[in-house]
Structure 1
C-alpha cells in the first residue's frame, strides 16, 4: 500500500516516496499495527489522518487470537472463552462509567472484543447453531438483547452481544450454494475498500454515486486478485503442509 500508492499519488517523482527511508518506516509501522498515516499521499484529503482507516481492527483481532490461545493453553475448557467474554464486558462497563482520556478508546476496543469472544464461545457449543430451529432461537435471543440495549440497559455490552448472535445465527441459517468455499474475497474487500475510496473520492472529479460505483468495482477487482494470487495459494499451501506429515506417518 505504501509503495504502490506512494509511487503514483505522492507528489514528486516516481521514487520520491517509494525509494525513501520514510516509505520503509511507514511500511514497518503499518505491518506492526501502527497508524496508516502516509502524509505524502493523504495530505489535502478529506480524511487525511489515515490512508487505510480500517486497519485499526487488525491489531484487536490479532490480540484476541493470542489471548484465546493463551487461555486455552492454560486450560482447554469451554469456559475459557466465556471468562474472556465476561472480562471484556466488565471492562466495557467500567470504561463507560468513568471519565478518563482513554475511556472512549477502551469502550470501542472492548466492544469489538466482545463480539470476537461471543463467536469463540459459540465455537465450543456448535449444537446451538446446528439446526434452523436452534439458530432461530439464538437470533431471537440476540434481538431481545438489542431491545434491552435500545431502552438503555447496558447498551454497549448488550448491543455487541446481541448483534453478534444475530449475525452468527443468520450466517448458519442461510444455505448458500453458489460460493461454498470456492472463493472468498471478503478479506480483500476489508483491506482495499478504504484506500480505494480515499483515492477515488480525493483524486478524481467523480460525483457521489459515480465514485461509489467506481470504488466498489475497483475494490472487488483487487479483492479477487488478492484471493486468486495470494490468499488461496497460501491456504492451499497451509492445507498441504498439514497433510504431508500425516501422509508420511501412514507410509
Structure 2
C-alpha cells in the first residue's frame, strides 16, 4: 500500500503551491489597520518624547511597539502575497523600492535642509559644515542616524526621527521573501517557518547573552513578518474566523498576565492571526479610507519628527493636547505624502506591471 502524506500537511503544501489573486485594497481593512497602527506609534512615542513617563503597556508591549508588530505582521501577509501573485526578482525589487524610497528620501531631505536649519541651536555655517549633517543623508538608504547637530537639543530625547529604524529591518524581510520565493512553491511555507525560527532564536540568544545586541528590536519584528507571510501562503481563507481570533487573543492575554515573559512568544502566534482576520473584513469605513489612499506610511514617517517640532515650538503642553496636534499634523502630512509622492511613484510601479 502506498504511503500517503498527512492530510493536513498535504493541504498546506497544496495551498502554498497555488498562486492567489492580488488583494483588492477596497475590499479589506488593511489600510485602516495600518493607519491605526501608525497613529498608535505616535501616541506611544508622545509619552517618551514629552518626558511624561513610559508608554502604556498592552498585552506585554508598550503600545508603540505593539503597533510596529502590527505593521510587520501585515507586511508579511501582503508582501508574501505580492510575490506569490507576480513572482520575479527584478519586478519585486522595483516595486518595493518605489514603495519605500520616494517618501523616505523626501522626509530625509526636508529634515536635513529645512527642519534642521530652522531648529538647530548652531549657527547656519556650523550646521552646514558639520559632517554629522551630511552623514544624516544616509538615512535615504535606511542607514539611520538619529541626531543632527544642535537639532532638538534640550528635549527629553534629542532624536530627530526615531521611527526610521524599522525600514532597514523591512528591507531585510524583503530580501528574505526573495530567497524564500526562489525555492519550489511547496517548500516556501517551510522557508518562512525557518526564517521565523531563526529570528526567534536570535531574539532569545540576545535576551540571554551579550551576543547580537543590535537585534533586540529587529529579531521580534522579523518573526512577526515571517508568521504573517506563513499565514498568507499556508493557511486557507476558511481558517480565518473571528471566534478563533478572539480565542487566540484571550489565550495571549491570559498567558501574559500569568507569565509576563511569555508575552512575546504568544504574540508571535496570536497577533498576526488576529491582524489578518480583522484585515480581511470589509467595512464601509475601511472601503472609504482605502479609496482615499494609503496614508499610513507617510503618517509613520512624519509622526516622530512632527512630535519633536511641536515640542520645540509649543514647549510643555498637556499630553493629550500634544497627541491631538501631532496626530492631525502627521495624518495631514501623510496624506500629502500620498498625493504628491507615493501615489505618483506607485503609478510607475503599476505601469511597469502591464
Give the TM-score, by structure 2 length.
Answer: 0.60
* Alpha-carbon distance, 1:226 to partner: 0.2
Cα displacement string for residues 178-234 of structure 1 (whole angstroms, at most 9, x for unaligned residues): 123441110011100101001101332461233322222211221111000000111
Task: Give, in whole Å, the separation in 2 of the partners of 1:30 and 1:36.
Answer: 13
- Conserved in 2, the CA contact under 8 Å of 1:135 and 1:173? no
2:334 matched residue in structure 1 = 223
For residues 30 and 63 of structure 1, the distance between their equivalents in structure 2, rounded to whole angstroms, comes to 16
* CA positional deviation for 1:144: 2.4
**295, 298, 318: which one aligns with 1:185:** 295
The 5-angstrom pairing of residues 70-109 of structure 1 reads 70-76=179-185, 77-96=188-207, 98-100=208-210, 102-103=212-213, 105-109=214-218
Consecutive unaligned residues of structure 2, counting only runs of 5 or more, are 1-110
SS of 2:224 mapped into structure 1: helix
**Aligned to 1:39, what secondary structure does the other structure show?**
coil
Q: Distance in 2 between matches of 1:172 and 1:18?
A: 48
Map 1:1-251; keep pairs closer than 5 Å.
1-12=111-122, 17-18=127-128, 22-29=132-139, 31-48=141-158, 50-76=159-185, 77-96=188-207, 98-100=208-210, 102-103=212-213, 105-125=214-234, 127-128=236-237, 130=238, 134-152=241-259, 154-175=262-283, 176-205=286-315, 207-208=317-318, 209-243=320-354
Answer with 71-80 or 211-220: which moved more. 71-80
Partner Cα distance (2:142, 2:290) in 1: 33
Q: TM-score, normalised by structure 1?
A: 0.82
Check the 8 A contact 2:307/2:326 in 1, yes or no: yes
Structure 1 residue runs without a partner (length 5+): 244-251
Distance 1:135 1:95 in 2: 35
For the residue of structure 2 that corresponds to 1:203, the secondary structure is: helix
Q: Is the 8 A contact 2:142 2:164 kept in 1?
A: no
1:149–1:68 Cα change, 3 Å: farther
Whether the 8 Å CA contact 1:7–1:15 is kept in 2: the answer is no
CA distance in 2, matches of 1:29, 1:55: 8
Shift of 1:164: 2.3
Do the aligned partners of 2:163 and 2:300 also contact (CA within 8 Å) in 1? yes
Of stretches 35-44 and 145-154 in structure 1, the one that deviates more from structure 2 is 145-154
CA shift digits 1:73-119 (9 cap, x unpaired): 244433211221122223333333x232645x534322111111111
CA RMSD of aligned residues (A): 2.6
Asked if the contact 1:148–1:155 (Cα under 8 Å) also holds between the matched residues in 2, the reply is yes
- By how many angstroms is 1:41 displaced? 0.8
Q: Count how many residue pairs are aligned between Structure 1 and Structure 2.
A: 238
Partner residue, 1:247: none
